[in-house]
Structure 1
Amino acid sequence: MTEASTPEAGVPLSARDIQALIPHRWPFLLVDRIVEYEPSRRWIVGRKGVTSGEWFFGGHFPGLPVMPGVLQVEALAQTMAVYVARQEGFGDRIGLFAGIEECRFKRIVVPGDTLRLEVTMEKLGRRFGKGRAVASVRGEVACEALLSFVIPPEGALR
């Protein structure tokens, strides 16, 4: 049994569980479930079922619905945020994007697709972190990037 499947790891996580960890809410919560989580590997996997009713398809693009690449990146960042929130000492601290590097879009994402959102943390400090992120559909890479975040000092966001 892997760590991800043990009760202590608390996987899978539902959208409700995710909302207890990060501040994102509908319509901007872009992770439906966390399905794998292995802190020893610094690794997490989420899922996003892309439906024809998504709010962004009305304008992107009429008659040819394609999930915007920037929202694929956001879904990966939210998955990374769940990983960080589960680490000791991070809990309710909010991370903000610090950078998106090496970003590539390799496949369109359309209604009916399920995005697999995989993040491997490369660095995690008290105020900064970086993770290698890959969004894929049926094993085919849709988007990949190196994402970084910063956690502002207490009270800086008020």
Structure 2
Amino acid sequence: MTAFNIKDIMRLIPHRYPFLLVDKVVDVDPGERATGIKNVTMNEPFFQGHFPQEPVMPGVLILEAMAQTAAVLALDYLGEGSHGKVVYFMGIDGAKFRKPVVPGDTLHMHLTKERSRGTVWRFSAEAFVDDAKVCEAQLMAMLSDG
């Protein structure tokens, strides 16, 4: 599959509203790279407190959205072997936030597998709004039996 809609994503990862932070995954090169898309709206529950007068998507949630995209990429690659697996976020290196993400933005998260050894995967992640990079990091995750 080269793209995943919300139903496909929900079949692969256990996250649900309000913590499901990726709306679709496109441009999938199985086991290698994918692009997650998050449409950021004022209806997001975190905007009530972050910040009411100047809504900004929390950086940790941008990282979580990138991690969820990575989980879709890894579990899709396993195919039938992914049944019952859960992807646990293990680490973040070199996280940098470049610009605020605000309601009305469309977040494009580009994930590329750097390596996988056994059940541990490492990804390079970048997030963009339009052509502007808003976040970058290296993410580590472990696939485990649920």
TM-score, normalised relative to structure 2: 0.93
Q: Is the 8 A contact 2:69 2:111 kept in 1?
A: yes
Q: Percent identity among equivalent residues? A: 42
Which digits, 9 at most, give the CA deviation of each residue in 1:68-120, with x for residues without a partner?
00000000000000001111233431121111001000010000000001100
Between 91-100 and 15-24, the greater mean CA deviation after superposition: 91-100
Q: Is the 8 A contact 2:87 2:142 kept in 1?
A: yes
Q: Which residue of 1 aligns with 2:15?
A: 24
Q: Radius of gyration: which is bigger? A: 1
Distance, in Å, in 2 between the alignment partners of 1:122 and 1:30 is 23
Q: Which residue of 2 aligns with 1:34?
A: 25
Aligned length: 144
Gap change, CA 1:12 and 1:87, over 3 Å in 2: closer
Which digits, 9 at most, give the CA deviation of each residue in 1:122-154, with x for residues without a partner?
1123321100001110011111000001234x4
Task: Indicate the RMSD between aligned Cα atoms, in angstroms.
Answer: 1.4
Q: Which residue of 1 aligns with 2:62?
A: 72
Which digits, 9 at most, give the CA deviation of each residue in 1:42-91, with x for residues without a partner?
11001000001111000000110000000000000000000011112334
Matched residue type, 1:129:
W
SS at match of 2:77: coil
Determine which structure has the larger strand proportion and give its number: 2
**Structure 1: tracts of 5 or more residues without a match:** 1-8
Greater length-normalized contact order (CA 8 Å, ≥ 6 residues apart) = 2
